[in-house]
Structure 1
């Protein structure tokens, strides 16, 4: 159940949140770093 919830969350994130994979992490703003961290957290939990 938890894994399915995170998979749904990742799909929602991909549809709504901006993609930051081509940007340099050192040049991101604080908000962009938070979004990147949140997306990473959701992705790692969906894979476990």
Structure 2
């Protein structure tokens, strides 16, 4: 049950949230909201695998 929820969230994240790796964002210069999105995407991806 939990894994299916995170797989669904991963698909939603991919469709809606920006990809900072494609934009070549420098992590040292990232703003707080960008770091929050990166952390959220990491958390969801980690739990969906």
TM exceeds 0.5?
Answer: yes
Are 1:16 and 2:16 matched, yes or no?
Answer: yes
Moved beyond 2 Å, runs of 4+: none
Q: Note the residue ranges of structure 1 that are not aligned, 5 or more in a row.
A: none
Are 1:28 and 2:36 matched, yes or no?
Answer: no
> What is the distance in 1 between the residues matched to 2:47 and 2:28?
25
Aligned residues: 47
- Tell me the equivalent position of 2:44: 42
1:19 is paired with a residue whose SS is coil
TM-score by length of 2: 0.90
Q: Note the residue ranges of structure 2 that are not aligned, 5 or more in a row.
A: none
